[in-house]
């Protein structure tokens, strides 16, 4: 999921209007711009041969949830390799990286032992361990904004099921020494000896969501419950009734560390094959549903970009590379591994594009606050009629695989999308299913992504971000 770190500001609309007026009707591509004929060929190919809905059904309904390390993700990776090969991709292969022990979900349950004694819907947070025995304990509500506040609560937390409404986050000073902060945090958790910790889902409508990964600070007996059930527990506490709960956790780790994989597929360029545009999306998902909006749609879009560009036979100067990452949900593990494994090629990456904000229409891209990238995106937007509508936004986004590339100074862009019901309902939730995907938006997004990718493949080289270290 892509997050903005700055408010979105609009700029450049006047420039788009002027540039569009002076563009020759049938510009040829010797200046790096797509001709109108080439644009039309690409659009016609997407409208003619679009495989996205079928691919999404095969991926989500046929294979299902794709937790990193699961056999379903491996099945999905083999499926993608076959598809990309059938679309004419070259050099289709997997790249392995070490990811630590695989986590497997087991049976979990929760219920109130007093008050109305109802069942509480709970999902175990991923990448956490489980007590073998059933936990029966009182519930206490915790709001601790700082480590000092957390530490002062230790005497009340021992042996309790802790409903964690607020937990500390590092301040500017503490962020300068993350190792020390992690150590201090861990020592409080160890001393507190909490029986279990319950987090509250961020989705509406009693839906549970999921998160977790190797870096999480709470690692044992951690559950996620709905907003409504968290409200029930708080109402009981507020009128002097201490909730008593019974919990069971069943998640566990495999005994040994395993490998995870990224899928790579190329369309070689004719003039500068060593330079490339990467369309990179994560193929892994959380496991409460089937990962349709996060990020099945990204996978079928990236595959459609490759298929349509290959089938339209528009000549490429640079190479197109599609990368299907894994481990994104556990902390961008796959894209970090890719960047580490391809150090010597990073300076040759013209741009990296991702789409990872649900199933809504693409409406723009942040410029990552690099003026040269803003200008390049504006020039492309101005020269391709279907891209005129894009907002090139002043801002930096992070939180998806483009971040791993941007940290090396590589031009890396994540699509801004209309939110639809992503943040309210589908993101990481029990209803992240195909029901929440509109085929017409997939088609729209495929045209936008293919035209932008094709333009970047042939445009003048974008510089490495000047304020960041050059890749070595
Ligand atoms: Zn995602």
The CA 328 to ligand 1 mean position distance, Å, reads 7
232 C-alpha to center of ligand 1: Å?
A: 31
User: pLDDT tier at 403 (50, 70, 90 boundaries)?
Assistant: very high
Domain contains 446: yes
232 plus 290 within the same structural domain:
no
Find the 146 Cα to ligand 1 centroid distance in Å: 29
Task: Find the 286 Cα to ligand 1 centroid distance in Å.
Answer: 9
Q: How far is the CA of 275 from the centre of ligand 1 (A)?
A: 27
CA distance 47 to 51: 10
381 pLDDT more than 70: yes
Within-domain flag for 472: no
CA of 264 to the centre of ligand 1 (A): 18
Whether residue 295 is found in the same domain as residue 423: yes
Question: Residue 126 pLDDT more than 90?
Answer: yes
What is the torsion angle, in degrees rounded to the nearest 10, for the CA atoms of residue 332, residue 335, residue 341 and residue 342? -150
| Ligand 1 geometric centre to CA of 331 (Å) | 11
Say what the pLDDT of residue 31 is: 74
In a domain, 166, yes or no: yes
pLDDT at 11: 40
Query: How far is the C-alpha of 363 from the C-alpha of 390, rounded, in Å?
Result: 5
111 and 72, same domain (yes or no): no
Alpha helices (H) along 393-432: 402-406
| 265 and 158 part of one domain | no
Separation of alpha carbons 135 and 409, rounded Å: 49
19 in the same domain as 163 = no
Do 151 and 281 belong together in one domain? no
Same domain, residue pair 306 and 452: yes
Mean pLDDT, rounded, for 203-220: 95
CA 228–ligand 1 middle distance (angstroms): 25
Residues 127, 236 contacting (CB under 8 angstroms): no
pLDDT in tens, 324-370: 999 999 999 999 999 999 999 999 999 999 999 999 999 999 999 99
Residue 8: pLDDT band by 50, 70, 90 thresholds? very low
CA of 294 to the centre of ligand 1 (A): 5
C-alpha closest to that of 457 among 266, 262, 263, 264: 266
Based on the fold, state whether residues 449 and 309 are members of the same structural domain: yes
Of the candidates 250, 274, 292, which is a domain's last residue?
250
Structure confidence at residue 460 (pLDDT):
95
Residues 172, 170: Cα–Cα separation, whole Å: 7
**215 with 324, same domain?**
no
CATH number at residue 243: 3.50.30.30
225 and 118 in one domain?
yes
Count up the domains in the chain and report the number.
Answer: 2
CA distance 382 to 166: 46
Question: How many CB atoms are located within 10 Å of the residue 117 CB?
Answer: 9
Cα–ligand 1 centroid distance for 423 (angstroms): 12
Distance 421 CA to ligand 1 centre (A): 15
Domain assignment present for residue 369? The answer is yes
Q: Note whether residue 470 is domain-resident.
A: no
Compute the distance from residue 282 Cα to the ligand 1 centre, in Å: 7
pLDDT at 472 over 90: no
Q: Is the pLDDT of residue 19 over 80?
A: no
Confidence at 7, pLDDT banded by 50, 70, 90: very low
Nearest to 206 by CA among 141, 284, 120: 120
pLDDT for the residue numbered 21: 34
Q: Pseudo-torsion of CA 388, 390, 396, 397, nearest 10°?
A: -150
- Write out the DSSP string of 137-185: EEEEEEE-SSHHHHHHTHHHHTT-EEEEEE-----HHHHT-HHHHHHHH
Domain boundary at 228, 250, 272, which? 250
Other beta carbons less than 10 A from residue 239's beta carbon: 7
Confidence (pLDDT) at 5: 47
Where does the pLDDT of residue 41 fall: very low under 50, low under 70, confident under 90, or very high at 90 and above? very high
Instruction: Tell me the mean pLDDT in the region 466-470.
Output: 55
- Tens-digit pLDDT profile for residues 136-182: 999 999 999 999 999 999 999 999 999 999 999 999 999 999 999 99
The verdict on residue 143 lying in a domain is yes
Domain contains 413 = yes
Task: In whole angstroms, give the CA distance from residue 226 to residue 241.
Answer: 20
Confidence tier at 1 by pLDDT (50, 70, 90): low
* The pLDDT value given to residue 32: 78
How far separated are the first and last CA of the chain, in Å rounded? Answer: 28
419 and 381 in a single domain? The answer is: yes
Give the domain CATH number at 58: 3.40.630.10
Task: Please identify, among 250, 269, 301, the residue that sits at the C-terminal boundary of a domain.
Answer: 250
Report CA(471)–ligand 1 centroid distance (Å): 25
> Does position 273 have pLDDT exceeding 70, yes or no?
yes
The enclosing H or E element of 382 equals helix 371-383
Segment 261-278 mean pLDDT = 98
415-356-269 Cα angle (round to 5) = 65
What are the tokens at 373? Answer: 């990238």
Confidence band of 22 (pLDDT split at 50, 70, 90)? very low
Q: Where in the sequence is the domain holding 133, given as residue range(s)?
A: 106-250
Q: Is residue 194 over pLDDT 70?
A: yes
Query: According to the model, what pLDDT value does residue 16 have?
Result: 33
Q: Is 309 a member of any domain?
A: yes
Report percent pLDDT > 90 for the chain. 90
Predicted confidence (pLDDT) at residue 470 exceeds the cutoff of 70: no
CA of 41 to the centre of ligand 1 (A): 31
Residues measured by CB to lie within 5 Å of ligand 1, the ion: 1, 294-295, 356
Q: Are residues 49 and 110 in the same domain?
A: no
- For ligand 1, the distance from its centroid to the CA atom of residue 293, given in whole angstroms, is 8
Task: Please tell me the distance from the alpha carbon of residue 303 to that of residue 52, in angstroms, as a whole number.
Answer: 8
């Amino acid at each position: 999921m892509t997050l903005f770190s700055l408010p979105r500001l609009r700029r450049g609309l006047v420039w788009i209007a002027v540039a569009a007026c002076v563009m020759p009707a049938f510009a040829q591509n010797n200046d790096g711009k797509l001709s109108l004929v080439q644009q039309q060929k690409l659009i016609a190919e997407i409208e003619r041969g679009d495989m996205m809905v079928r691919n999404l059904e095969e991926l989500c309904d046929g294979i299902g949830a794709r937790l990193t390390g699961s056999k379903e993700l491996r099945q999905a990776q083999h499926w993608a390799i076959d598809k990309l090969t059938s679309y004419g991709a070259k050099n289709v292969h997997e790249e392995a990286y070490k990811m630590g022990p695989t986590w497997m979900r087991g049976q979990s349950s929760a219920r109130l032992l007093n008050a109305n004694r109802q069942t509480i819907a709970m999902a175990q947070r991923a990448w956490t361990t489980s007590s073998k025995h059933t936990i029966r304990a009182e519930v206490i509500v915790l709001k601790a904004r700082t480590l000092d506040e957390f530490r002062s609560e230790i005497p009340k937390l021992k042996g309790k099921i802790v409903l964690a409404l607020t937990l500390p986050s590092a301040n500017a000073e503490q962020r300068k020494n993350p190792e020390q902060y992690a150590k201090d945090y861990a020592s409080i958790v160890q001393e507190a000896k909490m029986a279990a910790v319950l987090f509250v889902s961020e989705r509406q409508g009693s839906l549970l969501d999921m998160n977790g990964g190797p870096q999480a600070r709470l690692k044992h007996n951690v559950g996620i419950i709905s907003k409504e059930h968290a409200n029930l527990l708080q109402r009981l506490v507020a009128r002097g009734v201490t909730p008593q709960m019974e919990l069971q956790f069943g998640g566990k780790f495999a005994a040994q560390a395993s490998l995870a994989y990224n899928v790579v597929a190329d369309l070689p360029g004719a003039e500068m094959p060593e330079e490339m545009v990467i369309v990179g999306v994560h193929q892994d998902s959380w496991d409460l549903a089937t990962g349709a909006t996060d990020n099945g749609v990204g996978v079928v879009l990236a595959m459609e970009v490759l298929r349509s560009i290959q089938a339209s036979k528009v000549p490429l100067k640079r190479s197109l590379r599609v990368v299907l990452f894994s481990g994104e949900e556990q902390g961008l593990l796959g894209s970090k591994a890719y960047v580490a494994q391809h150090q010597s090629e990073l300076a040759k990456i013209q741009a990296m594009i991702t789409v990872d904000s649900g199933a809504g229409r693409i409406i723009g891209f942040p410029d990552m606050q690099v003026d040269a990238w803003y200008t390049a995106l504006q020039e492309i937007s101005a020269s391709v009629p279907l891209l005129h509508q894009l907002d090139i936004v002043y801002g930096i986004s992070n939180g998806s695989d483009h971040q791993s590339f941007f940290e090396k100074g590589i031009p890396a862009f994540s699509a801004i999308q209309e939110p639809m019901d992503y943040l309210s309902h589908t993101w990481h939730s029990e209803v992240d299913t195909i029901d929440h995907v509109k085929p017409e938006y997939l088609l729209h997004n495929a045209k936008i992504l293919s035209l932008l990718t094709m333009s970047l493949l042939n445009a003048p080289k974008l510089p490495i971000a000047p304020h960041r270290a050059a890749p070595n």
